[in-house]
Amino acid sequence: MRTFLVIIDETEEASAALRYATRRAAAVGGAVHLLALVPQQNFSAFGAVQATIEAEARDRAEMLAHGVAGNLFATSGIMPTISVKIGPGQKIVSEFLAEHREVAALVLGAAKGSNPGPLVTHFSSAAGSLPCPLYIIPHDYDEAANELLA
């Protein structure tokens, strides 16, 4: 089964990437995998404080991913798989792609303006060495409007 990997957060560009991946998965009988990234906290002399901050961030990311998954299922009938990982985004996504050969495409949303975001910048420069195609979706992508043009 073709799986579309979407990096999910609360941004408009992540929503655009999710809409695109969902439509593609539905069209090919594929699946969607949501990956929520939790930034690792800088080292703190108070380890318990650092652990608490990371746990709270992970809980927020899980709640976001589960909310998005519920909405996705309600609107498309596709129940996505969810992963929440703590650490540097580029490293986590690279490791995830290496471990999950079922991923048919990495779908990233590009932010508005001249800086599309750290993941888009990193993975677009390494697109030729990725184990799957990279789809970069603009933050304001409207699939319905683009279907009318086709």
pLDDT for 112-137, tens place per residue?
988 999 999 999 998 889 999 999 99
**Residues of the chain with confidence (pLDDT) below 70:** 41-47, 144-150
Collect all residues with Cβ–Cβ distance below 8 Å to 22 and sequence separation of at least 6. 4, 32, 72, 75, 76, 78
Residue reference for tokens 């909405």: 71
Q: What is the pLDDT of residue 131?
A: 95
pLDDT tens readout for residues 51-67: 777 778 878 888 888 88
> Model pTM?
0.85
